[in-house]
């Protein structure tokens, strides 16, 4: 079975639609909501309703809701399914504005968790909700196994206590998918995810963070105090089963890391496109038939960045294709996230540099893209964590053996 990493023709329509949204909706309001931090982009409501209708009719699968692995085709042929559709559309959408994508109702990372591991009954209940993901705590950042938040079974409910920070869309969402431990003495296996709907007594949004980038997206601190959640809101099995329990929770990342990589790829391409046009206006043409050393220094720099971008793009496509074809992709998902996250930061900053004072000011969106790109190298696992995961996979080492 071979992998074709060109864009599947059947997704041309959804990619074109995402491009139109980026051009006609996201970019015109990008600077406005970057300045008006924490103000919800009301222009997104109509767009969200349109996407809901398209998803319901089967016309497209966009955003973080389209990451559920589906049954294979019996081993015959290649499949390009909802993961590929989601990543391609999110690349194009982030060519417009990363923060707007993160602000889209019902397209949150919590929706990705639900799409990955919820049962049919939970899908019916939770699919209409806008779900955020609550993992990070004040006591840890990248080590997801260090969860201190607890969930104690009491009758027909779990009682959740703890604090979560850096919750994307935590202020605006309808529900939060929160990671909590059933028994902190049992380690990773006891970590489970729960859907906690807003309005549940004991759930309090304490504050919204002020940030370097993605300012249109709200990032919240949420506290859970004796918060009672029905047993049926637990995603996956309630049993504590060695490493299997945590592995099920972590499967979400295998699906969402290519999405975040796609976001970085889209943002970096926006910067490259803008810089290429600026160079053209300055009389610097990039000649793809001549070696870089024989061209203008700025053209050579652009060629180098485009090669870096291409590597990130292809790794992202590979990880996405593997998810669609039900192949284990933890290694490839982390490789894509690591490469795309770093490339996104490097490329956007270098584009600002090449554009000079114009790139550093608010006359273009280059400086904003550079600020936005940094988060894509951090959330869903930092650069260092991705490299650690890749090393463990390549060397066949456990998390205990290689820290």
Any idea which residues carry the catalytic annotation?
380
- CA–CA dist 312, 261 (Å, integer): 8
Instruction: Let me know: does 205 contact 170? Beta carbons within 8 Å.
Output: yes
In terms of phi and psi (left: phi > 0; alpha: psi -120 to 50; beta: otherwise), the region of 231 is: alpha
Instruction: Let me know: does 336 contact 389? Beta carbons within 8 Å.
Output: no
To the nearest 10°, the Cα dihedral for 58, 111, 168, 244?
A: -140
Instruction: Let me know: does 151 contact 160? Beta carbons within 8 Å.
Output: yes
Reference 196, options 225, 217, 218, 154; nearest CA is 225
- Tokens encoding 66: 């389209």
Reference 93, options 224, 262, 232; nearest CA is 262
- CA–CA dist 258, 25 (Å, integer): 25
In terms of phi and psi (left: phi > 0; alpha: psi -120 to 50; beta: otherwise), the region of 204 is: beta
- CA–CA dist 178, 196 (Å, integer): 7
- CA–CA dist 216, 94 (Å, integer): 13
Reference 133, options 321, 260, 47, 241; nearest CA is 260
- CA–CA dist 292, 307 (Å, integer): 12
Reference 212, options 386, 369, 385; nearest CA is 369
Residue 151 host element (H or E): strand 150-154
Q: Cα angle vertex 362, ends 360, 363, to 5°?
A: 100
């Amino acid at each position: 079975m071979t992998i074709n990493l060109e864009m599947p023709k059947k997704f041309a329509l959804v990619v074109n639609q995402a491009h139109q949204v980026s051009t006609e909706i996201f970019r015109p309001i990008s600077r406005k909501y970057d300045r008006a931090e924490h103000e919800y982009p009301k222009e997104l409501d109509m767009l969200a309703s349109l996407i809901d209708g398209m998803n319901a009719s089967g016309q497209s699968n966009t955003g973080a809701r389209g990451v559920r692995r589906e049954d294979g085709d019996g081993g015959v042929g290649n499949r390009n399914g909802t993961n590929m559709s989601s990543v391609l559309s999110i690349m194009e959408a982030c060519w417009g504005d990363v923060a707007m994508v993160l602000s889209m109702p019902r397209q949150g990372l919590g929706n990705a968790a639900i799409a990955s591991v919820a049962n049919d009954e939970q899908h019916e209940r939770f699919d209409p909700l806008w779900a955020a993901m609550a993992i990070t705590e004040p006591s840890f950042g990248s080590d997801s196994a260090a969860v201190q938040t607890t969930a104690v079974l009491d009758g027909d409910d779990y009682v959740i206590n703890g604090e979560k920070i850096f919750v994307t869309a935590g202020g605006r969402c309808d529900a939060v998918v929160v990671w909590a431990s059933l028994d902190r003495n049992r380690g990773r296996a006891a970590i489970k995810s729960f859907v906690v709907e807003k309005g549940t007594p004991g759930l309090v949004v304490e504050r919204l963070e002020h940030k370097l980038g993605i300012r249109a997206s709200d990032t919240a601190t949420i506290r859970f105090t004796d918060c009672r959640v029905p047993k049926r809101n637990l995603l996956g099995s309630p049993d504590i089963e060695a490493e299997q329990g945590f592995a099920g929770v972590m499967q979400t990342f295998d699906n969402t890391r290519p999405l975040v990589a796609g976001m970085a790829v889209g943002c970096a391409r926006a910067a490259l496109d803008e810089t290429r046009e600026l160079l053209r206006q300055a009389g610097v043409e990039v000649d793809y038939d001549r070696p870089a050393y024989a061209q203008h220094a700025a053209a050579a720099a652009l060629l180098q960045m485009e090669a870096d971008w291409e590597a990130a793009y292809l790794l992202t496509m590979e990880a996405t294709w593997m998810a669609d074809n039900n192949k284990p992709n933890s290694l490839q998902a982390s490789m894509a996230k690591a490469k795309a996250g770093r490339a996104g930061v490097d490329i956007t900053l270098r584009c600002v540099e090449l554009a000079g004072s114009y790139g550093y000011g608010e006359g273009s969106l280059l400086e904003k893209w550079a600020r936005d790109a940094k988060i894509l190298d951090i959330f869903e696992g930092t650069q260092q964590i991705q490299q650690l995961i890749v090393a463990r996979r390549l060397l066949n080492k456990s998390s205990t053996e290689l820290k």
